[in-house]
Structure 1
Amino acid sequence: MAIILSRPSRAPSLLFSTAFAAVVGSQVATALTGAVFGPALVAHLMYGTGRANLAQGAVFACQGLEAALSPALGGWMAELYGFTPAFLCLGTFSAFAVAIWLFARPELAGTALDSSTTHGRSR
């Protein structure tokens, strides 16, 4: 969870440090959240619904769209306004995604889990 919550801090941290270790560290953290924790989180949230594969496909489609649009949006912003607004804009998208993740979890949706439910859903 700490790596997922640290994802929005990647863009502002790169504003202040362009050292090789900082860039590689942020890329590794991004890869871990996208490739390891993302599918595990989706599998956890969709457990028992019968729609885990559909959700995984939707998540990977969104990640592909993000991978295609992020360099284009970042390059356009950097060309027009400079690197600082570009990094802050991309960091804002990450913060928005983490906010959705935090507030859309079944554990926080007010559903009481007891022995008759699984992740807030009836068996």
Structure 2
Amino acid sequence: VLRIDPPSIPELPDAFIDSGFNKRSTVADFRDDRVVERVQALAASADVVVSGYRDGALQRFGLDPDSLMSRNHGTVVATLSAWGRGGPWDGRRGFDSLVQAACGIAAQY
């Protein structure tokens, strides 16, 4: 498992410990075309690609499900979105703690 994050969005240490255990991790700056090409090559050689970005966010980099599957027909692509598809918030960015707060299941101590 290789987790790829943008360099401009720091991960909270506690969150990384919870979700990054036993994973390799790196950052990739998609403003650099050479970096995008390397990530595309990695994804094309993968058996499974999981993305946590909202619909359409990775399309301009050729990393959306259709592009990934067209380069490697055997790749399984799974996408997760904080707000789902087709709803009033489908284009918004989000992550777990925001979803918990918006849905009322978060607790403040």
Bin of the TM-score, shorter chain as denominator length: under 0.3
Task: Using structure 2 for the length normalisation, give the TM-score.
Answer: 0.26
- Rg bigger for which structure? 1
Larger RCO (alpha carbons 8 Å, 6+ apart): 1
Higher helix content, 1 or 2 = 1
Higher strand content, 1 or 2 = 2
